[in-house]
C-alpha cells in the first residue's frame, strides 16, 4: 500500500488543520504515544466485539513534521490480553517498515484478527462481558523493552447465542491424548485425505477461517464448497491460519454448505505421537474452522 504524503509548508497550514480534524472524526480512537511526532488511529470493522470472532483491524500510523526516524529495526505487533492470557498477537506492519518511516506521512495496514473463545457462558460474572487490554507495540530484536504506541481497554461481549456452529461431519479422525504436564485429556480433530464440515448458509457474505498445524514437510490443500473448488494453497510444516471472504451463496432447499478439506499427502499418526495406540493415516491437525 502506498503511503500518503502530507505537505509540510506554511501556506498549507489551513489544509493541515483540516486533515487533523478529519482524522479525529474517524470512527475508532486516535492517540499520541511516547514516540514524538507519531499518532495512531485503530478501527475494528465490527462495532460490537465478541469472543470467537474474526474481525478486520485497520490501523493508520500518522507521522507529523516533528517525527524523528527510528535508528533500528522494529516489528509492529497488535496484541490483546486478559488477566495473564494473551488472546491474540498479530503482525501489523505496513508495506513500509518502521525503519523507513519519514515525517509528515500516513502509513496504513489492514489485517484480519481472530479473538478466541475466552468468556465462560456459565459464569455469571462474565455474562455482561470482559474488559480486555488492547495495545500496539514496537518490538526489537536487541532484547530491549517493547515500546507501547497505542493502548486502550476494549469491552468484549459473549458470542451471540444464535451464532452458527460448524459440524465436523465426515472423514475426520478424532484423537484423544493426555496433555503434557497436566495429564488432562485433549481432543483433537485431524483430516484424513478428505474431511467434510457442514456450514450454515445464511445467504449473506461470510468469513471462512481454517486454523491448525501441518506435520508434513509440504502439503497441497484444496478447499471445496459444495462441489466447486474454492481455493488451493501449499503449506510447509508448522502452524497455519487461512482467512477468506466467501459468498453470498444462493439459498437452496438445503440450508447447509459442505466444506471439504483435501490434502495430497497423509502421514501415520505415530509419526507425530509415537505413543499412539491406533495408527491411522492423517492429514492436517485442525484447531478451528470458522464460518460466519
Decide if pLDDT at 253 tops 60.
Answer: no
Provide, for the chain, the percentages of residues in helix, strand and coil under a 3-state DSSP scheme, each rounded to the nearest 5: 10, 50, 40
Determine the pLDDT at residue 33. Answer: 54
Determine the pLDDT at residue 291. Answer: 96
Decide if pLDDT at 276 tops 90.
Answer: no
Residue pLDDT, tens place only, 143-200: 788 999 999 999 999 999 888 889 999 999 999 887 766 667 889 999 999 999 999 9
Of 138, 1, 155, the residue nearest 75 (C-alpha): 138
Determine the pLDDT at residue 4. Answer: 42
> Quick check: 30 and 24 in contact, CB under 8 A?
yes
Residue span(s) of the chain under CATH 2.60.40 come to 4-156
Mean pLDDT, rounded, for 224-247: 95
CA distances from 93 to 1, 75, 99, 134 (A): 11, 7, 11, 16
The residue written with cell numbers 489485517 in the block is 111
Determine the pLDDT at residue 122. Answer: 86
Residue 290: alpha-carbon gap to chain centroid = 12
What is the pTM assigned to this prediction? 0.83
Residue pLDDT, tens place only, 46-105: 999 999 999 999 999 999 999 999 988 999 999 999 998 999 999 999 999 999 999 999
What's the CATH code, domain 4-156?
A: 2.60.40
Decide if pLDDT at 109 tops 50.
Answer: yes
Vertex 120 angle, CA 118 and 126, to 5°: 95
Determine the pLDDT at residue 252. Answer: 67
Residue span(s) of the chain under CATH 2.60.120 come to 167-291
Determine the pLDDT at residue 270. Answer: 92
> Quick check: 211 and 241 in contact, CB under 8 A?
yes
Output the nine-digit C-alpha cell for 43. Answer: 478501527
Determine the pLDDT at residue 50. Answer: 97
> For the chain, what is the mean pLDDT?
87
Torsion 165-170-171-175 (CA) sign: positive
Q: How sure is the predictor about 127, in pLDDT bands with cuts at 50, 70 and 90?
A: confident
What's the CATH code, domain 167-291?
A: 2.60.120
Determine the pLDDT at residue 153. Answer: 96
Determine the pLDDT at residue 181. Answer: 67
Determine the pLDDT at residue 2. Answer: 41
Residue pLDDT, tens place only, 64-75: 999 999 988 999
Amino acid at each position: 500500500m502506498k503511503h500518503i504524503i502530507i505537505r509540510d509548508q506554511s501556506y498549507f497550514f489551513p489544509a493541515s488543520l483540516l486533515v487533523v480534524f478529519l482524522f479525529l472524526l474517524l470512527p475508532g480512537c486516535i492517540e499520541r504515544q511516547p514516540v514524538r511526532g507519531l499518532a495512531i488511529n485503530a478501527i475494528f470493522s465490527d462495532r460490537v466485539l465478541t469472543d470467537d470472532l474474526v474481525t478486520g483491524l485497520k490501523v493508520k500510523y500518522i507521522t507529523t513534521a516533528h517525527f524523528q526516524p527510528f535508528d533500528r529495526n522494529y516489528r509492529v505487533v497488535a496484541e490483546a490480553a486478559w488477566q495473564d492470557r494473551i488472546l491474540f498477537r498479530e503482525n501489523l506492519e505496513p508495506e513500509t517498515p518502521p525503519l523507513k518511516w519519514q515525517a509528515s506521512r500516513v502509513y496504513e495496514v489492514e489485517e484480519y484478527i481472530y479473538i478466541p473463545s475466552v468468556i465462560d457462558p456459565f459464569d455469571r460474572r462474565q455474562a455482561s462481558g470482559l474488559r480486555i487490554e488492547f495495545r500496539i507495540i514496537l518490538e526489537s530484536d536487541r532484547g530491549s523493552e517493547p515500546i507501547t504506541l497505542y493502548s486502550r481497554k476494549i469491552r468484549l461481549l459473549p458470542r451471540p447465542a444464535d451464532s452458527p456452529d460448524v459440524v465436523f461431519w465426515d472423514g475426520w479422525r478424532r484423537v484423544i491424548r493426555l496433555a503434557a504436564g497436566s495429564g488432562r485429556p485433549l481432543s483433537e480433530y485431524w483430516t484424513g485425505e478428505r474431511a467434510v464440515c457442514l456450514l450454515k448458509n445464511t445467504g449473506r457474505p461470510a468469513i471462512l477461517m481454517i486454523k491448525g498445524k501441518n506435520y508434513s514437510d509440504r502439503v497441497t490443500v484444496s478447499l471445496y464448497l459444495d462441489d466447486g473448488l474454492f481455493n488451493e494453497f501449499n503449506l510447509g510444516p508448522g502452524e497455519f491460519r487461512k482467512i477468506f471472504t466467501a459468498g453470498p451463496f444462493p439459498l437452496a432447499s438445503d440450508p447447509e454448505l459442505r466444506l471439504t478439506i483435501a490434502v495430497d499427502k497423509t502421514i501415520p499418526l505415530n509419526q507425530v505421537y509415537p505413543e499412539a495406540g491406533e495408527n491411522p493415516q492423517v492429514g492436517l491437525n485442525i484447531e478451528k474452522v470458522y464460518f460466519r
